[in-house]
Structure 1
């Protein structure tokens, strides 16, 4: 049993590392029972709000006291989160969720299997033989689809059961809908059944989201009407076509054709593998869980996924005859039919499972690194070692940068990172002594030479990696000094920037080659931060030096006027020019009688002030 403090720290770790994506969250009590299910556009922001005491209501405060664990499922859209929340609430009936007593669900669209099928909205999905599309959490979307089918293909709106014998024997009569052109009259043979069923099939394609063929036919019709100068009718077709092309009815969570299917995916590391499980019933996810295996004998992903499939199906009592997996798994043929989809709805479910397992892996890593920051830095050092092929971990990294304006006030800087953390006591500033004009390469040579001759002379540690704030040219001049002159074996990398002065790529080797890294990876962001740090340090030193040169003035030539006095004068008068134009009385008011008199005389020596002081 965890103490209150341990439980609080555990929950805080989960909340801090939640993804900022749409999804559903589940709160569990100390017995592992789900007590609340919610949806969120931003999981981290929404769940965090429960633990903000300033925003807590009495009911929320009571709920929070019961929470001992948090689970969540990430999805791609808010609508998917809404549908998943609805399904999970029905399945688990959590204590703190509002449960609808009539157990209404989101509406669907049904197409019956009658002789002349009907299309209508329903909340009941148990009509025998009917095909259902949805459910739709956004009801206007559902009505837009129904209206589209109605406008394009006029399925019969009446509820009268119709048989083939009744139509043949003339049992039915046309109604008002026929006269107002809402129906083509298939019940009395004014529209053939073949034509009617063709229209119903087109409606099925629209409801499935397969609108390509429908849109193609509509474009042809629109062009024909346009060629016939029937622009008003062509414009109406264009309006319907836009409605089709702008609508996206598909959902990763909902599909009318998927029922009783298990979905599995895996992400693997050197010592741990993560397995995600989704169960699909009636087109909805009603179970989602991610867990991990600690490897002991270098098990393959295929072996671990097979173990995970059996474990999850046993745990949740699944009897699904079909499982969706990313690759073939060694299971008995009679156990379940394996599907490895390459496209379509099943492929999207497999990708959703992959998204969840990646997110779980990422969150576990972030939680571990929050508790042990050294673990993160060790991982990143290992990644640098692997990417660059270094002989040892880069515990000490040194970066160099130059700064000057057209050769004036030329300076350079060296910053040091130990275990990827700034070692600010080791930072060094250098005035360029042997180079005249703006020659960055010669300046870099001078600084690197001075740096490592001094380090060796003082028996100070040498870096495991040198990084130049620049591309191939800077790397080469550093190499010439380090390897050719000083005969040191230190790896050299470079961080090149683009035309907008943003870090573009990491270079390494001789001759330098680009090391492939994603711009949004942790390692790339770390290297960019290191480059920004050496650039900041060099620029600040350059500004200080330039500022001192620019502020050097006649004040510096006056005995008794030190830095503090000079700062006081500049603060009071704003500039040297104003100080010089100040009266003796004004200077004495600021500095006192003696020092003010002395400064006034020094600034106006040789001038006829017209005053005798």
Structure 2
């Protein structure tokens, strides 16, 4: 018996169902959404004023080519809510900069989010950069685009100038004469003078704009009085820019720079923890964890925080915020960090935002579980009622595959409570005959499968589903009832002209059972039929490629079964053997003349394209 187990990837139908379930749970709130691929890699980050509307738009209606490609690769997504659209923008910027998702880079090529940086050197400069590194410099931002960063830089050059000329400049530069350079090229500038200018720049970028606005307003009035209207208009534009752009947001406050925020929610035995890591005055990263709680939640959160910094020591901040019931004294002693619970203000709003996100994540988990249970339990109950059987909690489904009668195989998938149980999938290589014979193939796999279950005294399924109609049903019933003496309900999954699930055939009356295509039972049948078809044809293609591999090697003089087995185990494919050197092959213990013949023969032959695989159901 060649039954084999396997653990395949999720089908596209399962992925789509999971996404559709999560779409119904999206909040009507601002925040960021993060798209992941099958490998759990972040492929796109976006922001939205309304997460529900924006994220749903990706999976509804038609899109252009690039968006269609993005959506086709989405395996799952997550969201992070924020207090405002501006906070969502800042968070989006940081997430894109950290993870560099492939679609953000492609869709926004050349538009990195910039920072203003005061360099750490003898004569500091105020420059624009898109890279934040630990070089001792002071960073401010990020800004939504280079234009905004440049305008802010120009305002600061005029109000609080630092060095603008190159280090090797020996005389006063053009900017010095305009009052936009501190003048280290003309005379020695003390560190105290630089420190005063930098302090003013920091206050300005942290929202204290009163001083510079007042100075610009005075300059604007003087210019107007002197009928220097062009210059007055320039001062007016600078004032407008400061009022509309350089404003404080709760997410950018200097008060909680380099700080981490922890909060949690507890419900139905599960603990949901949210961590916001703030660097350069904005949320750099969010981490979330949901796990069963077996003890006191406050103690478990305390332990989680301590372990968090043991495992990610490089992320250790200057201070952390936690809820009041967490053990502050223990954490301060263990981490050597200030630990506090703010009672009001912006820090309190951040703590509440972390708690809000933890509740949303936990609610989403429970609602998804409930939706999944309703969908699967309701589906198996509907299916049992349609076939007038006691239950259909344990289902086994079969499909056959061959290429014009060769490489005849069958696949079997198992569903319990409406969900795939991949560890119990089985493969069968048909042994009793050659050629295409649906009746005989069905009889062989049913005989082998259920005689073994009887012999090993293992539970029998509630229902057997055959990917086909009367031929498969009659063959299965003949073996079950006449040979094995057992009565297991059998039904057929009948397809339409487009090879899609169309209806259900009762195994006893052999009549088609009407199944509402909008029902959960119909969707379950679709999932099972797609899965068993995919599984059978996947096994067939693997077997066929191995057969082709062996037959080509058998035609080479000097290559016998042992040599072929060595090559098959080591190289896995003809392509890799073609690319190998004589030394690679002789290293397997194969004589050099034989190795040379193998390479010569394979390079003379054309690669085989597997295009004839068909499913016979």
* TM band (smaller chain): 0.3 to 0.5
Per the normalisation by structure 1, the TM-score is 0.47
Per the normalisation by structure 2, the TM-score is 0.47
Q: Greater RCO between the two (CA within 8 Å, min separation 6)?
A: 2
